[in-house]
Amino acid sequence: MEQKLYLDKKRYGAYVKGRAARSHVFSNCTNAFLVGGSICTLGQALLGFYGQVLGMDERASATGVSVSLIFLAALLTGIGVFDRIGRVAGAGTLVPITGFSNAVTSPAIDTRSEGWVMGVGAKIFTVAGPVILYGTLSGVLYGTVYYILSLFL
């Protein structure tokens, strides 16, 4: 007769705690802060460059920064550098626009061998899709609550 092995929650918790690597919270937070801050600083430098050096208006400069950061994150993802930065920086690379670019680019690269339709087309938003869905949903909910409250205040 086959013996089934199982762990109850308490024994499983002790097992996981003994096997899990300890988190280095201070250095992780420091790395995330430095890398995320560097990305934001790069964006601010690009904003100044587009506005002051190239003479673009504020809106065109902001668009240029967005496009530049998206392109740079996609390029770094494509050549494998973004993942290495992410291992060191952790959440610091999730500055919204670069993290979103990486979330769209990675599945596209990973599934390109499956073809344009069933690979890239079908799986490009596997990571970013929930972000779009729940971001939109939370915006609608927030807007609805704000509208209702504005009727009474």
Q: What confidence score (pLDDT) does residue 31 get?
A: 93
What does the pLDDT read at residue 115?
76
At 114, give phi and psi (nearest 5°): -85, 0
The model scores a pTM over 0.85:
no
Give Cα separations from 143 to 18, 146, 147, 149, 152 (angstroms): 46, 5, 6, 10, 15
Q: What is the pLDDT of residues 53-108, one digit of tens each?
A: 999 999 999 999 999 999 999 999 999 999 899 888 888 888 778 888 888 888 88
- Mean pLDDT score of the chain, rounded to an integer? 87
What percent of the chain has a predicted confidence (pLDDT) above 90?
46
Residue 150 CA to residue 43 CA, distance in Å, equals 35
Mean pLDDT within 27-48:
94
Q: What is the pLDDT of residue 11?
A: 81
Mean pLDDT, residues 3-18 taken together? 74
pLDDT, residue 7, reads 66
Closest to 94 in 3D by CA, of 35, 47, 134 = 35
- What integer pLDDT is reported at residue 15 of this predicted model? 82
